[in-house]
Chain A
Amino acid sequence: MAGTAVRGRLIWQTATVSSVVDETATVRTLSLDVPDWPGHRAGQHLDIRLTAEDGYRAERSYSIATAPGERVAITVERLDDGEVSPYLTEELRPGDQIEIRGPIGGYFVWDPVDGGPLLLLAGGSGIVPLRAILRHRAREESPVPVRLLYSSRSWADVIYRTELEHHAEGVAVIETLTRQQPAGWTGYARRVDQQMLTEVAWPATQAPLAYACGPTSFVESVAAGLVTLGYPPGRVKTERFGATGS
């Protein structure tokens, strides 16, 4: 039976891969055609379910990389020891189908009405839901000012690099490259620490709203650092990805 979506119910649907884009050597964006997609909010994710011939099932969650109103897409990082990511990043072709359910999430979401100023903190592939937030902000022409602090291993590992270089007005992108920097690099060259947060984060007195996403250790470290700077814990939203390639 085809997925008949009843509002409010979450069901597994069959999505068709419409196109793929390689963001880096290990990261790929998959655009999906999902019949009866109800729309989504910036920051939400979807679940994917793969079933092997022997019936073995694996489920994973991936953040939606696109803004409300755009075609649903996910950006997946291939993990060397991954069970699912190698298939999604290397095997799936346009026209192939996968089972998904979504959109999911009511906590790690942002709409212009939530205001700001916004502090977005990304560790590696944690940039994915934050890119959806940035695109949503731009599409809605929201005047909320944004600072994005994005930690990557190297220049080659920066996801959405070109798009971030041509970001909308009112957005400041601060990158830190933790393992390798290109010649002439004058930006940060270390993991995010308290000193860096002090220099980059909006002052707590401006009542900023923070979203931190990436490996668990990254998220825990920056969230604690922001609370130390005076951010109320309720104004620091977190999404832990577990282990990533970074």
Chain B
Amino acid sequence: MEPLEDRVLDGNAIGGLLIEVFGTEMTAATGRCGRCGTAAQVAELAVYRPGLGTVARCRHCDNVLMVFVQVRGVTCVDMRGLVSLA
């Protein structure tokens, strides 16, 4: 059984999902955490369970930055954890 930490991925793993949602490549975009202010590229965020129900967290303070959920074939995204994404 692999170490627990090996099951955590990064924003590269949701590159396709991000294009689906935003219509453009987003892994190089910079997001700023609304809780601790850390700015990081999306590719560097901690990503849990890519697929139905995906969570991207701030690596610095673990704050949930983005949540992706599929509801009846539509991908819904909650980005309230981010103060900016550009």
Contact = CB atoms under 8 A, between A and B. Distances in A.
A237 B41 CA distance: 10
Nearest to B24: A8
B53 to A, nearest CB: 13
Contacts of B8: 216, 240, 242
Contacts of B72: none
User: Looking at chain B, what size class is its interface with the partner chain?
Assistant: 20 to 34
A216 B27 contact: no
Contacts of B27: 104-108
Given A102-B16, A106-B28, A242 B9 contact: yes
Given A59-B51, A243-B2, A105 B15 contact: yes
Nearest to A109: B28
A102 B9 CA distance: 19
Among B7, B9, B26, the most chain A Cβ lie within 10 Å of the Cβ of B9
Contacts of B9: 216, 240-242
Contacts of A105: 12, 15, 25, 27
Among B10, B12, B19, B24, the most chain A Cβ lie within 10 Å of the Cβ of B12
A104 B15 contact: yes
Contacts of B23: 8-9
B2 A106 contact: no
28 contacts: A9-B23, A10-B16, A10-B20, A47-B16, A59-B51, A61-B16, A102-B16, A104-B15, A104-B25, A105-B12, A105-B15, A106-B25, A106-B26, A106-B28, A107-B11, A107-B41, A108-B27, A108-B43, A216-B5, A217-B3, A237-B43, A239-B12, A240-B10, A240-B12, A242-B6, A242-B13, A243-B2, A243-B7
Interface of A: 8-10, 45, 47, 59, 61, 101-102, 104-108, 215-217, 220, 237-243
